[in-house]
Amino acid sequence: MIRKIIVIDEEKCNGCGACAAACHEGAIGMMNGKAKLLRDDYCDGLGDCLPACPANAISFTHREAAAYDEKAVQANKLAAQQAAHPRHAGGCPGTRMRQMRQRNHTEDAPPIFGASQLSQWPCQIRLVPEHAPYFQGTSLLIAADCTAYAYAAMHQTFLRGKTTLIGCPKLDDVNYAEKLTRILRNNDIQDVTVVRMEVPCCGGLEHAAREAVQNSGKALPFHVATISIDGIILNQT
């Protein structure tokens, strides 16, 4: 059948992943650093991905394409959720929720340099529960996983006093915005800070966090810090 469907200009695509995060049907994925329309029958032709693209690389076309298959989309979503949250008998030790008191810290003395400031486990966006005690009354840090390696003072500058979530939109084939929205909506989070790398693909993490704050219905203070690949804070808002 001839119908309206998206087309992605690979020359314009910067690989940020924002369109894949915005596509609720899972029609778009990242391959070799570029956005791809994975299946015609997953694309509903509504174009939620168009305004998310910072490079204006997505447009509509009319061509021969398989009809939108809502049942296939829902089945694919369910399979992705099951893959992201597998069940383990007795619970996987690596995903069991824990809160940690920051080491070398007392009420009268600040943490010493080099001491971990991670306050909870797990910290991966894909693994963290949507409801947890450590989300109550906290400042939320959403960080690209590379930032901890690029920026030497990551713990003292950004992790201290925050609940930390980490992820990589280029490597994780999931929509961070949906889960982050539920976390923000259902917990008493005070503000959100995003720490990202300067590389374009990290824009997907910032975009997902901004979308989550907007969709949560809360007027939360929102801050962004960008780290260069040689470990310098390029800008901070």
> What is the per-residue pLDDT across 131-162, written as a single tens digit (0 to 9) for each?
888 898 999 999 999 999 999 999 999 999 99
pLDDT in tens, 163-175: 999 999 888 877 8
pTM above 0.75, yes or no: no
Residue 45 exposed, middle or buried by CB count within 10 Å (0-12, 13-18, 19+)? middle
Report in angstroms the alpha-carbon separations of 26 from 43, 82, 110, 128: 8, 15, 45, 22
Among 57-71, 81-95, 156-170, the least confident range = 81-95
Domains, the chain: 2-84 (3.30.70.20), 93-236 (3.40.50)
DSSP-assigned letter for residue 98: E
Alpha carbons 181 and 14: distance in angstroms, whole number? 25
Reported confidence tier of residue 130, pLDDT bands at 50, 70, 90: confident
DSSP-assigned letter for residue 199: S
